[in-house]
Amino acid sequence: MKTSRRARLRRRHYRRMNRPGGLNLVSLMDIFTILVFFLMVNSSDVKVMQNTTEVALPVSSSERDAVDNLTVQVSGQSILVQGREVARLDGIGADEIHIAGLSEELAYRRNRLSEVPPQGLEVTIMAGQGTEYRLLRRILKTCVDEQYRQVHLAVETGGQNG
**65 confidence band (pLDDT: 50, 70, 90):** low
The pLDDT, as a whole number, for residue 162 is 43
Task: State mean pLDDT over 95-123.
Answer: 88
Measure the CA–CA gap between 101 and 80, rounded to whole angstroms.
Answer: 10
Quick one: which of 76, 84, 66 has its CA closest to 123?
Answer: 66
- Comparison of pLDDT for 30 and 67, the residue scoring more: 30
Q: Where in the chain is the domain with CATH 3.30.420?
A: 59-157
Task: State mean pLDDT over 27-53.
Answer: 75
Comparing 82-96, 112-126, 141-155, the range with the smallest average pLDDT is 82-96
**Alpha helices by DSSP H, the chain:** 5-17, 25-42, 100-111, 133-145
Give domain 59-157's CATH number out of 1.10.1060, 3.30.420, 3.40.50, 3.40.1130. Answer: 3.30.420
